[in-house]
Amino acid sequence: MVFKETPLIGAFVVDLEEHRDDRGSFARAFCRREFEEHGLDGTVVQANLSVNRHAGTVRGMHYQVPPATETKFVRCLRGAIHDVIIDLRPESGTYGQHFGIELSAENRTALYVPRMFAHGFQTLVDDSEVMYLVGEFHAPGAERGVRHDDPAFGIAWPLPVAVISDKDAAWESFEPEPR
């Protein structure tokens, strides 16, 4: 795996290191040891699959608060998404900043999302599937979110929002912590 730092402290784009021959290719898609060698938490307790029928679908921006903060390792298995993360760690030098990247079945790129980062995505094509490995169990009482269109972040989604859940549309505007 090839780890590339994003502009947000602790978040990484992870590309496959493919080995090709006449049969096709082989690549390690996840390795806890390699994560730990890069100072990342490689714990995985759940693998989630998100199936999305329509281009323009937005899911997010989700995170969990202590004691159930979670890491995520996100990869698009079919179709394409615009994946976005927001650093919500008040002590971070990139607090309140966001980063977005296209993840697709074609580019096979993945994104490592640290604890206390909001995460969400928009599907770029119909019938997109996203798998993410999660480092903590889902804890409904610790679940939080921020608005996908919150002016505090200024996220430029590539498509008009076609589908969003009532829950995701109802998140409150972000209130930054005093620094």
Q: Which residues are catalytic?
A: 62, 132
In angstroms and rounded to an integer, the radius of gyration of the C-alpha atoms of the chain is 16
Query: Distance of CA 63 to CAs 68, 125, 140, Å?
Result: 9, 25, 11
Tokens of 89: 């760690």
- 68: DSSP letter: S
Dihedral (CA of 30, 35, 41, 43) sign: positive
Query: What residues does 67 pair with on adjacent strands?
Result: none
Kindly state the helix (H) or strand (E) to which residue 72 belongs, with its residue range. strand 72-78
Calculate the alpha carbon distances from 116 to 68, 90, 96, 106, 158 in Å: 10, 9, 11, 29, 24
In the block, residue with structure tokens 């100072």 = 39
